């Protein structure tokens, strides 16, 4: 079950949030429940400490009139629920967009000043969190987990084009459909993360399902996103088999 949490000190706003959440869970028949709605950040931390396997989505007010702020609370939640979905709900005056998104790798940032869109944004967040939860639970989609900064990110295998080894030892560059991510790893271990991955060059591991074209003469492989990776003659033979 996906556990939903609310931490908001304004009773009126908290009641609204609860209603939006409960309505959406009921209408969409989600395997989710609003387990805790409170004005006290420590209620959430205490709950998590006694339920360490919680998979949660957390709607947090930033200014909590407590000795910890929403950001501090989010960091502590992360310590326990490392892949939890954190959403900040805040007023416009507190807006520092990037900080909220990246300090604790929040999922979203909802501004209270536009009441009309709050309900929609909350439902969007619940929708995404539920999708992530289902993917993880069924294991239907294969996910490559990578630690980036203080966050563990899950990337679907189908999104991965290839891995490229970096210029310094243990640095690998992951090319996805629309991004590049550098992280700490060794290239030779990456050929083993799934059967669709293939060591096509001493510096490259390619996802065979995302190949668009193989140039045997030029010894390059073109991917479906238009990027290229190198291939050795011997590995091309292996690929064409």
Q: Name the residues that contact another protein, by CB under 8 A.
A: 71, 96-99, 102-103, 148-150, 166-171, 175, 178-184, 225-228
Min CB(122)–another protein separation in Å: 20
Query: In the bound complex, what is the minimum distance in angstroms from residue 19's beta carbon to another protein?
Result: 30
Nearest to 180 by CA among 199, 166, 201, 194: 166
Q: Which residues pair with 164 in a beta bridge?
A: 173, 204
Between 30 and 111, whose beta carbon lies closer to another protein? 111
- The distance of closest approach from Cβ of residue 62 to another protein in the complex, given in angstroms and rounded to an integer, is 11
Least separation in angstroms between CB 25 and another protein: 27
Cβ closer to another protein: 167 or 240? 167
Nearer to another protein, 148 or 152 (CB): 148
The closest of 55, 39, 79 to 4, measured between CA atoms, is 55
Q: What are phi and psi of 147, to 5 degrees?
A: -90, 120
User: What's the closest the beta carbon of residue 104 comes to another protein, in angstroms?
Assistant: 9
1 touches 33 (CB < 8 A): yes
Give the shortest CB-84-to-another protein separation in angstroms.
Answer: 17
Q: Would you say 71 or 190 has its CB closer to another protein?
A: 71
**From the CB of 183, what's the least distance to another protein, in Å?**
6
Considering only CA atoms, give the Rg of the chain.
22
Closest CB to another protein among residues 72, 194: 72
Give the number of residues written for the chain: 241
Query: Dihedral of the CA atoms 6, 11, 16, 18 (nearest 10)?
Result: 40
**DSSP class of 176:** E
How far, in whole angstroms, is CA 37 from its chain's centroid?
24
Q: Are 113 and 119 in contact (CB under 8 A)?
A: no
147 — alpha (psi -120 to 50), left (phi > 0) or beta? beta
Nearer to another protein, 35 or 80 (CB): 80
Residue (47 or 183) nearer to another protein, CB: 183
State how far the Cα of 133 lies from the Cα of 239, in Å rounded to an integer: 35
Question: 164 φ, ψ to 5°?
Answer: -130, 135
């Amino acid at each position: 079950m996906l556990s939903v949490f609310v931490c908001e000190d304004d009773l009126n706003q908290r009641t609204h949030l609860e209603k939006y959440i409960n309505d959406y869970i009921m209408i969409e028949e989600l395997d989710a429940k609003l387990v805790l709605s409170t004005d006290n950040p420590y209620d959430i931390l205490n709950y998590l400490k006694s339920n360490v396997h919680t998979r949660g989505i957390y709607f947090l007010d930033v200014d909590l009139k407590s000795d910890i702020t929403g950001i501090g609370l989010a960091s502590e939640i992360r310590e326990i629920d490392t892949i939890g979905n954190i959403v900040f709900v805040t007023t416009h005056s507190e807006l520092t967009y990037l900080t909220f998104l990246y300090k604790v790798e929040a999922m979203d940032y909802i501004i209270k000043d536009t009441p009309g869109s709050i309900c929609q944004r909350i439902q969007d967040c619940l929708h995404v969190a539920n999708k992530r939860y289902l993917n993880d639970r069924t294991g239907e989609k294969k996910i490559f987990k990578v630690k980036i900064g203080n966050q563990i990110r899950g990337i679907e295998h189908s999104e991965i084009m290839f891995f490229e080894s970096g210029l310094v030892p243990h640095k690998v560059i992951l090319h996805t459909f629309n991004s590049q991510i550098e992280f700490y790893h060794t290239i030779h271990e990456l050929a083993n993360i799934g059967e669709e991955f293939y060591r096509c060059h001493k510096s490259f591991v390619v996802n065979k399902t995302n190949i668009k074209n193989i140039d045997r003469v030029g010894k390059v492989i073109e991917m479906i996103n238009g990027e290229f990776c190198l291939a050795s003659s011997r590995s091309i033979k292996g690929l064409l088999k």
